[in-house]
Chains A and B, each alone.
Chain A
């Protein structure tokens, strides 16, 4: 394990916040993509049925 000395909290805090924000952004993007895909498929199916 890397030795961070007295600034361990500072460095790990910076990395932790950044990774959390990036994962949040990725998660939100995937969630919104899945929701839109689902709705679009349902809409296309419905319109296909009704011409």
Chain B
């Protein structure tokens, strides 16, 4: 069996209909457990006080904001190279989720930054690249709405996605590229060079898993809607031609 079988909308609808409830259930379990653990059962940080609890939303949202664009990049490339409609519809379905994650990261960062940095906003490399990423999400969604022909819209948005990938990458590595600004480095890393204490890290890993599963569930759900919308347009066109 090959992954390209799921480029068939019927096959995608069949498989996603039984995968979706499982992923949704797992996402709910991971999010409820992780957030409850992080919010109620972890201590305050000795410097940040109780504001450290914002990490359980801010870090997963920021990670998903970047990774969502990475997923859109892959699916857009699949569209440009192999012309599979399900692929580009998945990118279209993912964009509002990525935009919401970017907004959450920006809002929670600003709310946390006010008491900790003494400012809601600074033109720091990571903050600025995230703002630009948000604008790219906005532009991507607007472009889909602005172009009437779906295949032309898919082509144009895919190219925009390639361009925006530079900023998604910058958002991820801005702290390293420009060793300046207010934003600190990564909160979690697999090599443990930079790491929050284990007492915060365990619930954080769980909420990250919850956000990833939530993203997968919502992308599947929204892609199913996009496939139905595409079928609806095709039927309407067929009726007009008859």
Q: Is the CB of A11 within 8 A of B229?
A: no
Q: Is the CB of B39 within 8 A of A33?
A: no
Residues of B within 8 A of A (CB): 39-40, 44, 49-51, 53-54, 57-58, 61, 96-97, 100, 103-104, 107-108, 111-112, 114-115, 218, 221-222, 224-225, 228-229, 231-232, 235-236, 238-239, 242
Q: Is the CB of A10 within 8 A of B100?
A: no
Q: Is the CB of A17 within 8 A of B49?
A: no
Q: Is the CB of B218 within 8 A of A25?
A: yes
How many Å from the CB of B73 to the closest CB on chain A? 21
Q: A18-B57, A50-B242 are in contact. List 6 more A-B contacts (CB 8 A).
A: A5-B49, A21-B100, A29-B218, A40-B229, A40-B232, A40-B235
Given A5-B44, A36-B229, residue A14 in contact with residue B224 (CB < 8 A):
no
The answer for the CA separation of A6 and B51 in the assembled complex, in Å, is 10
The answer for the CA separation of A9 and B76 in the assembled complex, in Å, is 41
Residue B58 contacts which of A14, A25, A29, A37 (CB distance < 8 angstroms)? A14
Q: Is the CB of A14 within 8 A of B239?
A: no
A-B pair number, CB within 8 angstroms: 92
Q: Which residues of B contact A3 (CB under 8 A)?
A: 50
Q: Which residues of B contact A10 (CB under 8 A)?
A: 51, 54, 111-112, 114-115
Q: Is the CB of B108 within 8 A of A14?
A: yes
Given A21-B103, A25-B96, A26-B218, residue A33 in contact with residue B50 (CB < 8 A):
no
The answer for the CA separation of A4 and B239 in the assembled complex, in Å, is 61
Residue A25 contacts which of B100, B224, B228 (CB distance < 8 angstroms)? B100
Residues of A within 8 A of B (CB): 2-8, 10-11, 13-15, 17-18, 21-22, 24-26, 28-29, 32-33, 36-37, 39-40, 43-44, 46-47, 50
- Majority secondary structure of chain B interface residues (helix, strand, loop or mixed): helix
Q: Is the CB of B57 within 8 A of A33?
A: no
The answer for the CA separation of A40 and B231 in the assembled complex, in Å, is 8
Question: Which of A7, A24, A37, A46: most chain B Cβ within 10 A?
Answer: A7
Q: Is the CB of B107 within 8 A of A14?
A: yes
The answer for the CA separation of A28 and B232 in the assembled complex, in Å, is 19
Residue A32 contacts which of B104, B107, B225 (CB distance < 8 angstroms)? B225
Given A10-B114, A14-B111, A26-B218, residue A21 in contact with residue B104 (CB < 8 A):
yes
The answer for the CA separation of A18 and B170 in the assembled complex, in Å, is 24
21 chain-A/chain-B pairs, Cβ below 8 angstroms: A7-B49, A14-B54, A14-B108, A14-B111, A14-B112, A17-B104, A18-B108, A21-B103, A21-B104, A25-B100, A25-B218, A28-B96, A29-B225, A33-B222, A33-B224, A36-B225, A37-B228, A40-B229, A43-B232, A43-B236, A50-B239
